Structure 1
Amino acid sequence: MSELDRYLQAATRDNTRRSYRAAIEHFEVQWGGFLPATADSVARYLVAYAGELSINTLKLRLSALAQWHNSQGFADPTKAPVVRQVFKGIRAVHPVREKQAEPLQLQHLERVIAWLDGEAAAARGDERQADLLRALRDRALILLGFWRGFRSDELCRLQIEHVQASAGSGISLYVPRSKSDRDNLGRTFHTPALQRLCPVQAYIEWINAAALVRGPVFRGIDRWGHLSEQGLHANSVIPLLRQALERAGIAAEHYTSHSLRRGFATWAHRSGWDLKSLMSYVGWKDMKSAMRYLEVNPFMGMARIDEKPVRQ
């Protein structure tokens, strides 16, 4: 691979590149389309899968087709009026309510952390190193994910060299790239130490127990307690979280890795954080992104209206 190709490849995220490749293959192989495509063929492609694929999947397919045509120097057929109108019509005929992860409530966070503390204590007493490491790793991951509002990819990209933790004070974490960091500028996040459910102490205990000095913060652990050299994959965060919740007796089927981010946003909003401060802390660029994560009681204002006036 030439240096030019290497930098061009680095400009597109691995997940996006895989998704685009699969979308192009679907258009050509499964549907039987030809590239470069015409606006009419793209419109017919959308119609063929309108009732089968979700709106978000169709948007991804259009983005992949647009990227292919632009990179190959062809006119982008996805911008044609007929394609836009067909897509608008599909939205109207097949409206779908957006699915959102269940926010992890503070009481459930307390419950699962207490359970993991119990698992760690029992494993330490029985000298079960693998179980001890898993409990400490899961506790640190869940607490950092919640209090910092991290996405799963951000948690899995954390490197020990980019983390500075001080017990009783706070922690700073540099994330070189993330989903919202389109220009790959990187960002440093800060989180204070807490009296309870402390992400700083959980991180320090995990790093010390695992004897880690460099590389990924969160890694796989085999049955003998050996740590992987590679970091966890973002897709492994959901089963990790669900398994921890289920062991703590919490029904976990509606929880995803976004539950940590939504849980923190909901807690912060109900605790009186103003939206500007919350957006800055979590890293949201616009109001629409923030409101998608907030779990707001729609009847809160009605309750105030229903209050009886105070007699003078």
Structure 2
Amino acid sequence: MTTELIVQSTSLPTVMEELRERAGEYVKNAHSKNTQRAYKTDWEHFEAWCLAHDRTSLPADLFETIVPYLTAHAGNLKVSTLLRRLTAIRVIHRARGSKLDTSDERFRLFWQGLRNEHRMRPAKKAPLMSPDLRRTIQALPMTLQGHRDRALLLIGFAAGLRRSELAGLWAAQDPQAPGWIEETPDGLVVQLATSKTNQDGEEEEAIGVPFGRDETVCPVRAYRAWLAMSAITAGPIFRPISRHGKMGQRAITGAGVALVVKRVVGKTALAEGLTLDKALALAGTFSGHSLRSGLATSAAKNGAPGHAIQRQLRHKSFTTTLEYIRIGSLFEGNAAAFALV
């Protein structure tokens, strides 16, 4: 008795097409979602410029197209933005089977000159220090939005999370969840499936968030109160809330996290007597990163060991952590304090 394996020839193209599509998704997922969105925007900008100036975008000539494009936007865009756009153009070329070689010495000299002339010291946003965080938390109302903002700020601060990591947290583990929170008797455990420095998800990233000694600024209690009020049991933890108090179903964005920080800082400043203009100016000095930098700088100022700060922030290099420690301890053991006696 023989067994025949019959494969219909008509099914083969369909199968191969599905395999090609899946392979394409693997290539696409070599970069994070945020990077993919940035590259898409950068490429669309480059394509539009090429169309307006009768240039071929793919394949693009290095000196006839790329150099004029970068020159046209130098001074209007930051050097870091131009570098990202150049990287996006190079990545798109490579993905579509074309090579854009930027190793030419003439181009290297051009880029170095552009960078030297338009280099700007990046404007760093202010860290939200623990005393300031405490004041903003205590000023929040006991509304749905107030409970969300309280939990978001305290967890983001205590865990030292990047804004995208904070926005991506889910209430329970799920294959689609970028991260989630687990409750334990000792506090919360923030589990990150992927992160900026762990895009492959090959390393386990667990961050402990202990109970706060002061109940009014305790991240664990704030988290539990938010879940109880919002009735969230699965899916994204932090979601948009309309001005009418209606909560959405999708996750808040990283930009949304930044807006929460700016809004609560501004409202607290207004409540403390600042004018509207001064409150807005103050709020503008903060960002979503202010929670992460605020933890590190506050911890350093209060004498936390450097290795503990590095572990909470998950820095690969202690050199990065040292910058926070330097800022947080500017006046600790300052030589001038011993000299001016």
- The bucket for the TM-score relative to the shorter chain is 0.7 to 0.9
Matched, 1:178 2:198: no
Give secondary structure in 2 for the equivalent of 1:171. Answer: strand
Structure 1 residue 98 corresponds to structure 2 residue 122: yes
Tell me the SS of whatever aligns to 1:108. helix
Shifted more, 31-40 versus 174-183: the winner is: 31-40
Q: For the residues of structure 2 that align with 1:303 and 1:164, how far apart are their CA atoms?
A: 42
Aligned with residue 264 of structure 1, among 272, 288, 295: 295
Q: Is the 8 Å Cα contact of residues 262 and 294 (structure 1) preserved in structure 2? A: no
2:166 equivalent to 1:148? no
- Write out aligned runs for 1:28-177 (5 A): 28-31=47-50, 32=53, 33-34=55-56, 35-41=58-64, 42-116=66-140, 119-120=141-142, 132-161=143-172, 162-166=180-184, 169-177=186-194
SS in structure 1 of the partner of residue 316 of structure 2: coil
1:276 is matched with 307
Aligned residue type for 1:134: Q
Shift, 1:108, TM fit: 1.0
Q: Deviations over 1:282-301 (max 9, x none)?
A: 11222454356556169648
**Closer, same or farther in 2 for the Cα pair 1:78/1:184, shift >3 Å?**
farther
- Tell me if the contact between 1:103 and 1:295 (Cα under 8 Å) persists in the aligned partners: no
CA RMSD of aligned residues (A): 2.6
More displaced 10-residue stretch of structure 1: 301-310 or 284-293: 301-310
Contact 1:172 1:188 in 2 (8 A): yes
Give the aligned partner of residue 16 of structure 1: 35
| C-alpha contact (below 8 Å) 1:216/1:230 kept by paired residues | yes
TM-score, structure 2 as length reference: 0.78
TM-score (norm 1): 0.85
Q: Answer yes or no: is the 8 Å Cα contact 2:168–2:236 preserved in 1.
A: yes
Q: Any idea what SS the aligned residue of 2:327 has? A: coil
**Aligned 8 A contact 1:166 1:200 in 2:** no
Q: Secondary structure at the match of 1:165?
A: strand
How far, CA to CA, are the matches of 2:211 and 2:328 in structure 1? 29
Distance of 2:260 and 2:101 partners within structure 1: 42
User: Which residue does 2:233 correspond to in 1?
Assistant: 213
Which moves more between the two structures, 292-301 or 64-73? Answer: 292-301
CA–CA separation in structure 2 for the residues paired with 1:231 and 1:253: 24
Distance 2:329 2:100 in 1: 42
Q: Report the CA distance shift for 1:194/1:26 in structure 2 as closer, same or farther (over 3 A).
A: same
1:189 paired residue among 207, 220, 223: 207
Whether the 8 Å contact between 1:150 and 1:261 is mirrored in structure 2 is: yes
Q: Is the 2:125–2:286 Cα contact (8 Å) retained in structure 1?
A: yes
* Structure 1 position 235 matched with structure 2 position 266: no
Inter-partner Cα distance in structure 1 for 2:328 and 2:182: 37
- Judge conservation of contact 2:32–2:199 (CA < 8 Å) in 1: no
User: For each residue in 1:118-158, what CA deviation from the matched residue of structure 2 results, as whole angstroms up to 9, or x when unmatched?
Assistant: x21xxxxxxxxxxx211111000000111111111111110
* Alpha carbons 2:43, 2:88 under 8 Å: kept: yes
Q: Is the alpha carbon distance of 1:234 and 1:188 closer, same or farther for their aligned partners in structure 2, counting shifts above 3 Å?
A: same
Q: Which residue of 1 aligns with 2:13?
A: none
Larger Rg: 2
- Contact 1:134/1:221, CA 8 A, preserved across alignment: yes
Counterpart CA distance in 2 for 1:111 and 1:301 is: 24
Using a 3 Å threshold, how does the CA distance of structure 1 residues 86 and 274 change in structure 2: closer, same or farther?
farther
Cα gap change, 1:298 to 1:190, in 2 (>3 Å): closer
